[in-house]
Amino acid sequence: MRNTYNNPLNKRYASPEMSYLFSDEMKFKTWRRLWVALAECEKELGLNITSEQIDELKANVENINYEDAEKREKEVRHDVMSHVYAYGLQCPKAKGIIHLGATSCYVGDNTDLIIMKKALYIVRGKILNVINYLKDFALEYKDLPTLGFTHLQPAQLTTVGKRASLWMQDLYLDIENIDFVIDKIRFRGVKGTTGTQASFMDLFNCNEEKVKMLDKMVTEKMGFSQEFMVTGQTYTRKLDSIILNTLSEIAQSAYKFSNDLRILQNMKEMEEPFEKNQIGSSAMAYKRNPMRCERMGSLCRYIIVNALNPAITASTQWFERTLDDSANRRIVLPEAFLALDGVLNLYMNVSENMVVYPKTIASHVLKELPFMATENIIMEAVKRGGDRQELHERIRIHSMKAAKRVKSEGKENDLLERIIKDPFFKMKKEEIASLVSPEKFVGRAPGQVVDFIDNQISPMLENNKQYLGKEAQINV
């Protein structure tokens, strides 16, 4: 609708698969699947529930009568009980056993856990695809010398591929972390109103073993290997903080990449993809703005700040629970995933299609390389009988004059020409040139790229090859 607010995370940034996970349809159908699982397990453990009732519940999992639920919620002001009521209208035989012994958090919390676990797998798959694109890029440009920067000032040379390996390594650590978090997500299970399982103890006549079995059976039926052994009314909200911190860490990796590429685009060394009919500026027709990377940074900043919300929520849950978590979580949890999904869609698109300008890179290298090469020149001149201290002083004087020429006069760096003309160095132009070949100043950068990919990246991608080949969806 054009006359009401539409969340841009859905409209502009996130993929349909991620948006669906946090939709009402996904939520309420999962509620119904949880009610079916509860009834099945209660029946199996001896409660008076019939197969006919179970079949009736299963037959109506997908066809949710939203209008009945919405009408009821306006009357009772309770979303879960409204959907229990609506489900009961469709399942008259099973009406009396829906939600038997459970509290609202049985469906609410367990559904959140199911959805977030699925969402983490989507995130994980997209990170793997970004890593795969960066791997190909790093191998292609592993030997291309480029200026390294520390303090955003020219430093020793590295290679374009080695720099890409730094972006990859951040994501590699993110994959390790997300795997740990996915593995440690526990199900809330079947715990009752304050986590004591008192209602289920009543249902099973204080048979504690059956109550424990019910918890375990529902957990496994819903696809989890372990449940929280203790909860309040809710699972600990600390888990939300852990999950959103993980999303924040991924956003940090993407943010760093986007900033690096924006700076490189300013230097005209590399660019994000720019489409044939894309407009860079409404006023300046010549511009090629790094809009994808800028959007990545914008969304990443939102995710990083958003991670503070569940930290505060986890800190302020009084005793077994307070409801001041609810409205906050309805916004914070979905939007963190939707925003990160948008970031990774952009990251996939950009990393697959980055443009490199080797001649510009080489020209920048050659402007700075004479200063970096001076130590090599001094060492070679010493081998030829020169005095190290005198050579150092002459280099210092030549360097100051060359730097002044570059900075104050805007002219080319003529340091090498000055050294060639200085008879004290006893070196010809060809000999100097052989000492300042850029490839001699990159150290083990090419080898590091190969070692990193062979030993860590390729094995990880091989173990996850079924997740590769995804298309990035960019709406605008």
The whole-angstrom distance between residue 88's C-alpha and the CA centroid of its chain comes to 41
Amino acid at 292: R
* Alpha-carbon distances of 170 from 302, 381, 457, rounded to whole Å: 19, 42, 12
Nearest to 165 by CA among 398, 410, 450: 450
Place of tokens 């070949």: 437
Phi-psi region of 169 (alpha: psi -120 to 50; beta: other; left: phi over 0): alpha
Is 151 considered catalytic here? yes
240 touches 328 (CB < 8 A): no
CA 50 to CA 93: how far, in whole Å? 9
Q: Which two tokens stand for residue 47?
A: 């409660």
SS3 content of the chain, % helix, strand, coil (to 5): 65, 5, 30
Bridge pairing between strands 270-271 and 153-159: unpaired
Number of Cα atoms under 13 Å in the Cβ half of residue 258: 26
Q: What angle do CA 220, 34, 323 make, to 5 degrees?
A: 110
Q: How many helices (H) does the chain have, and how many strands (E)?
A: 21, 4
- Looking only at Cα atoms, what is the longest distance across the chain? 104
- Is residue 155 classed as helix, strand or coil in its secondary structure? strand
- Is residue 194 classed as helix, strand or coil in its secondary structure? coil
268 touches 358 (CB < 8 A): no
| Helix ranges (DSSP H) in 273-387 | 291-306, 308-315, 326-352, 358-372, 374-383
Nearest to 132 by CA among 374, 453, 358, 380: 453
Q: Single out the catalytic residue among 99, 165, 258, 281.
A: 281
Q: Which two tokens stand for residue 167?
A: 């972006």
Is 104 considered catalytic here? no
> Active-site positions?
151, 281
